């Protein structure tokens, strides 16, 4: 999907062009498929008329006219002798931000519903929508048929003067739009542009300030890295959305919901932060897209069975989490306990392992990306159990497999199959016995088999370097667990601490001045 951005000063001119016949009569049935609530209600359904187009343009421009806020760009002339652009010293009106998003002709046409979802995600990620509403931009997405080259596309027009009269941030908008388009290609199953294939396998890098803080505080991990390790662990061990919210709290992670516009009955996303350890410290919030795209709420939900009852229970839990975040009343354990492998985590691995099947059983088609997302979570869980405050080969394996996942997760159906009665004895023997460390070895061997299969798929796709890295990380992770179990073999089997992160331990109200601690919680 290719974004193309332009800036101008006439909202009416842009909207009337988009709803008009086009330069070669290529525009057909122009219609609004998404936008600011006021705009969508005003436009209504069906073809956008000329009068309707003017009404939409006027409604989009209202904040600019109401506040008189100017958004301008410098004017340049071309120096014919040098071929360089030279500033004239003048500035032009540029409060209209216009971006077209197009897919290749061979991908066919998307539905209005698909373009609506893509447009909403795009403007949210670009920062044009404020969760509280006051600092949102007015925007509209208009669709009017295929281009002359046969490409399906949608046009997004944004007024850069927000509802409160302030200016929207468009710094590095070209770069950000390209990155967001790549993420949406993966999320909606579109063809990923070759230029973004490599970048799609990267994780958001730490900022210099984050690294400097970790060094200053004597930590080996930044908050961003530690937060994604914990959230992956929580996801690997949570059989439902409500369990995910509770398990996040037990991992000393705050989550707060993002609701669908117009109410609080439907949660469409979330942000997360580490629980601060000082009374005057504010949480540093991250969207899942800035941590690991496989941790997004739509991706997580694909691995849970969703019913009306479970959705209602989850909304209540999200509201409670949101209140706790606002009030800073974190009902969480003082430290994160090292946890044995859970039945749910073991089942996620088993759902991708052909050796876990009963004779003659027909397994679902192997999905390397979904398997990689589940393995990333189990590796993170093992890292929390064995590496504690010094992340090592297990944490590195978690990151390596997360890059393969590219925002996908497993399906609720294979997980349910793996949890069926026929698997209970094997799963409990491998991962939930009385000796939790020994149980980890059985699960990690199974993880290693699935990891090798993912590496084989990557090899067949022509990604030989990535396949080699996956095999190396998987072997190093297995060896790390085996070495740690051997070192601990002299301890009684009952000495293994903690319970799964999905189970709620004794909790404590956050003290007024907690101070810093050390150990499995990395002082957080």
Q: Which of 60-69, 187-196, 439-448 has the lowest mean pLDDT?
A: 187-196
Residue 515 pLDDT > 60, yes or no?
A: no
Residues in the chain: 524
pLDDT for 495 equals 34
Query: Phi/psi zone of residue 515: left (φ > 0), alpha (ψ -120 to 50 degrees), beta?
Result: left
Handedness of CA 207, 333, 288, 340 (dihedral sign): positive
Q: Which of 37-41, 56-60, 170-174, 324-328 has the lowest mean pLDDT?
A: 324-328
Q: Could you give the CA distance from residue 181 to residue 3 in angstroms, rounded to a whole number?
A: 7
Helix (H) or strand (E) holding 33: strand 31-35
* Domains parsed from the chain with CATH numbers: 2-200 (3.30.930), 202-495 (no CATH)
Q: Could you give the CA distance from residue 498 to residue 296 in angstroms, rounded to a whole number?
A: 28
Q: Read off the pLDDT of each residue in 165-176 and give the average, rounded to a whole number.
A: 92
* Res. 520 pLDDT band, cuts 50 70 90: very low
Q: Which of 91-105, 181-195, 508-522 has the lowest mean pLDDT?
A: 508-522
Strand partners, 158: 97, 139
Q: Which residue has the higher pLDDT, 488 or 194?
A: 488
pLDDT for 505 equals 34
Q: Read off the pLDDT of each residue in 464-493 and give the average, rounded to a whole number.
A: 83
Closest C-alpha among 118, 136, 126, 101 to residue 176: 126
* Res. 44 pLDDT band, cuts 50 70 90: very high
Q: How far is CA 192 from CA 115, 147, 185, 441, in A?
A: 17, 20, 6, 37
pLDDT for 374 equals 92
CB distance 395 to 387 below 8 Å:
yes
pLDDT for 81 equals 60
Instruction: Give the side-chain half-sphere CA count within 13 A for 18.
Output: 28
Q: Could you give the CA distance from residue 475 to residue 349 in angstroms, rounded to a whole number?
A: 16
Q: Which of 38-47, 186-195, 335-344, 396-405 has the lowest mean pLDDT?
A: 186-195
pLDDT for 191 equals 66
* Res. 358 pLDDT band, cuts 50 70 90: low
Q: Which of 97-106, 374-383, 432-441 has the lowest mean pLDDT?
A: 432-441
pLDDT for 496 equals 34
Q: Note the pLDDT tens digit of each residue in 248-274.
A: 998 999 999 998 878 888 898 999 999
DSSP 131: T
Strand partners, 76: 87
Closest C-alpha among 126, 145, 104 to residue 21: 145
Q: Read off the pLDDT of each residue in 160-168 and give the average, rounded to a whole number.
A: 96
Residue 137 pLDDT > 90, yes or no?
A: yes
Q: Which of 9-13, 110-114, 358-362 has the lowest mean pLDDT?
A: 358-362
Q: Read off the pLDDT of each residue in 12-33 and give the average, rounded to a whole number.
A: 93
Q: Which residue has the higher pLDDT, 515 or 316?
A: 316
Residue 80 pLDDT > 70, yes or no?
A: no
How far out from the chain centre does Cα 206 lie?
16
Q: Which of 14-18, 205-209, 310-314 has the lowest mean pLDDT?
A: 205-209
pLDDT for 206 equals 79
Q: Read off the pLDDT of each residue in 336-349 and give the average, rounded to a whole number.
A: 79
pLDDT for 346 equals 85
Q: Could you give the CA distance from residue 335 to residue 265 in angstroms, rounded to a whole number?
A: 33
Written as one string, the DSSP assignment of 372-411 is: HHHHHHHHHHHHHHHTTTS--HHHHHHHHHHHHHTT----
Alpha-carbon dihedral of residues 517, 384, 306, 126, nearest 10 degrees? 70
* Res. 365 pLDDT band, cuts 50 70 90: confident
* Res. 7 pLDDT band, cuts 50 70 90: very high
CB distance 125 to 22 below 8 Å:
no
Q: Which residue has the higher pLDDT, 19 or 410?
A: 19
Q: Read off the pLDDT of each residue in 318-341 and give the average, rounded to a whole number.
A: 81
% pLDDT > 70, the chain: 81
Closest C-alpha among 297, 300, 292 to residue 405: 292
DSSP 523: T
Written as one string, the DSSP assignment of 281-298 is: PPP--B-GGGT-GGGSHH
pLDDT for 157 equals 98
Average model confidence (pLDDT) across the chain: 82
* Res. 424 pLDDT band, cuts 50 70 90: very low
* Res. 420 pLDDT band, cuts 50 70 90: low
CB distance 62 to 181 below 8 Å:
no
Q: At what angle do helices 343-350 and 368-386 cross, to 10 degrees?
A: 150
Q: Which residue has the tokens 């199953």?
A: 189
* Res. 279 pLDDT band, cuts 50 70 90: confident
Residue 66 pLDDT > 70, yes or no?
A: yes
How far out from the chain centre does Cα 280 lie?
29
Closest C-alpha among 125, 131, 132, 135 to residue 159: 135
Q: Could you give the CA distance from residue 162 to residue 39 in angstroms, rounded to a whole number?
A: 14
Q: At what angle do helices 368-386 and 436-460 cross, to 10 degrees?
A: 150
Q: Could you give the CA distance from residue 363 to residue 452 in angstroms, rounded to a whole number?
A: 18
pLDDT for 263 equals 84
% pLDDT > 90, the chain: 44
Q: Could you give the CA distance from residue 363 to residue 352 in angstroms, rounded to a whole number?
A: 9
């Amino acid at each position: 999907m290719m974004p193309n951005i332009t800036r101008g000063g006439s909202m009416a001119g842009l909207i009337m062009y988009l709803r008009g016949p086009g330069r070669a009569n290529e525009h057909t049935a122009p219609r609004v498929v998404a936008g600011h609530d006021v705009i969508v209600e005003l436009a209504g359904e069906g073809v956008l008329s000329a009068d309707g187009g003017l009404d939409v343009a006027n409604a989009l421009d209202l904040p600019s006219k109401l506040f008189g806020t100017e958004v301008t760009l410098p004017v340049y002339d071309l120096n014919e002798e040098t071929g360089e652009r030279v500033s004239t010293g003048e500035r032009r009106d540029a409060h209209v931000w216009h971006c077209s998003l197009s897919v290749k002709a061979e991908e066919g046409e998307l539905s209005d519903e698909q373009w609506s979802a893509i447009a909403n995600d795009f403007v949210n990620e670009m920062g044009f929508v404020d969760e509280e509403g006051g600092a949102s931009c007015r925007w509209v997405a208009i669709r009017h048929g295929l281009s002359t080259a046969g490409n399906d596309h949608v046009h997004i027009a944004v007024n850069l003067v927000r509802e409160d009269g302030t200016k929207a941030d468009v710094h590095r908008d070209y770069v950000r739009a390209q990155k967001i388009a790549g993420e949406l290609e993966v999320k909606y199953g579109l063809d990923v542009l070759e230029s973004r294939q490599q970048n799609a396998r990267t994780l958001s890098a730490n900022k210099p300030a984050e690294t400097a803080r970790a060094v200053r505080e004597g930590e080996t991990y930044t908050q961003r890295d530690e937060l994604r390790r914990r959230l992956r662990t929580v996801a690997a061990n949570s059989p439902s959305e409500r369990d995910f919210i509770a398990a996040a709290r037990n991992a000393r992670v705050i989550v707060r919901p993002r609701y669908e516009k117009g109410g609080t009955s439907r949660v469409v996303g979330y942000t997360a932060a580490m629980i601060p350890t000082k009374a005057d410290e504010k949480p540093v919030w991250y969207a899942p897209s800035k941590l690991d795209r496989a941790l997004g709420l739509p991706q997580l939900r694909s691995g849970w069975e969703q019913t009306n009852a479970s959705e209602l229970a989850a909304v209540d839990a999200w509201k409670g989490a949101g209140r706790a975040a606002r009030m800073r009343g974190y009902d969480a354990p003082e430290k994160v306990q090292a946890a044995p492998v859970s039945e749910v985590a073991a089942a996620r691995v088993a759902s991708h392992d052909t050796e876990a099947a009963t004779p003659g059983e027909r397994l679902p088609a192997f999905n390397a990306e979904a398997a990689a997302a589940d393995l990333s979570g189990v590796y993170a869980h093992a890292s929390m159990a064995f590496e504690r405050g010094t992340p090592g080969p297990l944490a590195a394996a978690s990151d390596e497999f997360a890059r393969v996942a590219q925002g996908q997760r497993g399906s609720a159906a294979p997980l349910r199959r793996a949890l069926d009665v026929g698997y209970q004895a094997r799963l409990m023997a491998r991962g939930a016995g009385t000796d939790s460390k020994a149980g980890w070895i059985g699960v990690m061997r199974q993880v290693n088999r699935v990891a090798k299969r993912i590496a084989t798929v990557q090899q067949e796709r022509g990604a030989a370097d990535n396949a080699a890295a996956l095999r190396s990380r998987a072997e190093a992770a297995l060896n790390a667990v085996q070495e740690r179990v051997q070192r601990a073999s002299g301890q009684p089997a009952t000495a293994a601490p903690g319970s799964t992160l999905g189970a709620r331990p004794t909790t404590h109200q956050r003290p007024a001045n907690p101070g810093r601690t050390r150990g499995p919680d990395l002082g957080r």
